Chain A
């Protein structure tokens, strides 16, 4: 009888133990399932933060972002520290606790921080002076981690050549880009084209060269058995000397027909020798620009 009572107690104790184990397993499973992640919806790039968790025990934490991927063990119920360097890249991040379908998961976005860098495209690198809309500048604005800053940001464009008045324009970015088109200055020289946002600026050099020749003038003089033709110093309409090497064409028309000589500008002047001719008309041109005509006749 006593033996029966003992074995019944032992059975009850075993059942109780099993119930406790089952309860613990259930609780552990429940706790794991109940683990939740609370993340901010939006985070500024490079700024660390904490993800709060619930539940108990430990679990594998995954962070999957555009430029950073991490996997580590964390204690449930304690906050997960996300370092600033883990969220430097703007974009979509998935934070996950555990694996499989019942894993806790949260999505958040990292957005760009303050403007800190400019990518500046300035074109062309060489341009004729005094040309309307000939220079373009495009500024891409980034934060310190090279994320595009999408918030509208004013960008200052400044174009200046030494001795000339600078031209300044302020343009707000749209989707991280500001652009402008500017006239080249009247003065030849190395123009400094600067784009700036706050304290950050980027400089490019645009070489402004003399434009087409303007007021092209020629003089002719008979010497021995040739006619020497020579231009005045060749300048563009803004008074800039055209570069040496610019081709100037002298054309002589007389009773025998037409003869043409191409000469390069040297030290600002183009010069050529033409065969002697009575009653010839000599003209001069450079590119599309036509200069004056002179007529030379016998004895003149």
Chain B
């Protein structure tokens, strides 16, 4: 009985610990902090905020996997449309050139700026902190730490939010 109670307490503590770190997804993806107050013309629902943080993190994890392992299929977890095609081509090019890109993702500060009236599309701005390494074979030929602003469009697809546009913006 004591063991059962102890396990129960541990489980509860784990749950509380997770809730105490909002923005830290449970999918091993990067940390995403979303500010939704400025979204127009529609306000984000609480559940949508949670979904955006989760799904945007999933997308970045997918991008890191795809570019790091040269696997375009990994993109399907988080990207559709233009963004899927764009990064898919990047993976193809990397494969041809024998290159890879390794991302160490230090987190994203995301801000919703537009949420469509009918609730199916959202535009966001992200400031990503990334360590990027470019590898030629197994040799790192370039390494940099960047703080990069992004323009993001996410739409509802297959029951989750997926990234349709992800563009780096000039600083």
Which A residues have a C-beta under 8 Å from some C-beta of B? 42, 60, 62, 64-71, 89-92, 94, 96, 99-100, 103, 105, 109, 111, 121, 123-124, 136, 138, 140, 142, 146-148, 150, 174-177, 179, 181
- 19 A-B pairs within 8 Å (CB atoms) are namely A42-B170, A64-B134, A64-B142, A65-B90, A66-B168, A67-B86, A67-B89, A67-B90, A68-B93, A90-B168, A92-B168, A96-B134, A99-B141, A100-B141, A103-B141, A109-B168, A123-B118, A148-B153, A176-B151
The answer on a CB contact under 8 Å between A90 and B118 is: no
Q: Which partner residue on chain B sits nearest A60 by CB separation?
A: B136
Min C-beta distance of A108 to chain B, whole Å: 9
Cα of A62 to Cα of B134 in the assembled complex, Å: 10
Which stretch from B1-9, B11-19, B109-117 is at the chain A interface?
B109-117
- Contacting A181 at CB < 8 Å: which of B89, B113, B117, B165? B117
The answer on a CB contact under 8 Å between B139 and A99 is: yes
The answer to whether residues A62 and B99 also contact, given A70-B93, A150-B151, A175-B114 and a CB cut-off of 8 A, is yes
5 closest residue pairs by CB, A with B: A91-B168, A123-B118, A136-B117, A69-B93, A67-B86
The answer on a CB contact under 8 Å between A69 and B142 is: no
- Contacting A67 at CB < 8 Å: which of B87, B114, B136, B170? B87
Residues on A with C-beta less than 8 A from B160 are none
The answer on a CB contact under 8 Å between A89 and B86 is: yes
Secondary structure dominating the interface of B: strand
Judge if B167 is at the interface, Cβ distance under 8 Å. Answer: yes
- Contacting A96 at CB < 8 Å: which of B123, B142, B148? B142
Cα of A275 to Cα of B152 in the assembled complex, Å: 65
Interface size on B, residues (CB 8 A): 35
- Contacting A66 at CB < 8 Å: which of B87, B114, B153? B87
Residues on A with C-beta less than 8 A from B113 are 175
Residues on A with C-beta less than 8 A from B86 are 66-67, 89, 146
Residues on A with C-beta less than 8 A from B127 are none
Which B residues have a C-beta under 8 Å from some C-beta of A? 41, 82, 85-87, 89-90, 93-94, 97-99, 101, 113-114, 116-118, 120-121, 123, 134, 136, 139, 141-142, 144, 148, 151, 153, 165, 167-170
Cα of A35 to Cα of B138 in the assembled complex, Å: 24
- Contacting B116 at CB < 8 Å: which of A96, A111, A179? A179
Known pairs A69-B90, A92-B168, A175-B113; list 5 more (Cβ under 8 Å).
A64-B101, A67-B87, A89-B167, A148-B153, A179-B114
The answer to whether residues A103 and B118 also contact, given A68-B89, A179-B41 and a CB cut-off of 8 A, is no
The answer on a CB contact under 8 Å between B151 and A148 is: yes
The answer on a CB contact under 8 Å between B117 and A179 is: yes
The answer on a CB contact under 8 Å between B94 and A136 is: no
Residues on A with C-beta less than 8 A from B82 are 142, 146
Q: Which partner residue on chain B sits nearest A96 by CB separation?
A: B142
The answer on a CB contact under 8 Å between A121 and B167 is: no
The answer to whether residues A94 and B99 also contact, given A109-B168, A148-B165 and a CB cut-off of 8 A, is no
Residues on B with C-beta less than 8 A from A176 are 123, 151
Cα of A148 to Cα of B93 in the assembled complex, Å: 22
The answer on a CB contact under 8 Å between B99 and A71 is: yes
Residues on A with C-beta less than 8 A from B116 are 121, 136, 138, 179
The answer on a CB contact under 8 Å between B151 and A175 is: yes
The answer on a CB contact under 8 Å between A71 and B97 is: yes
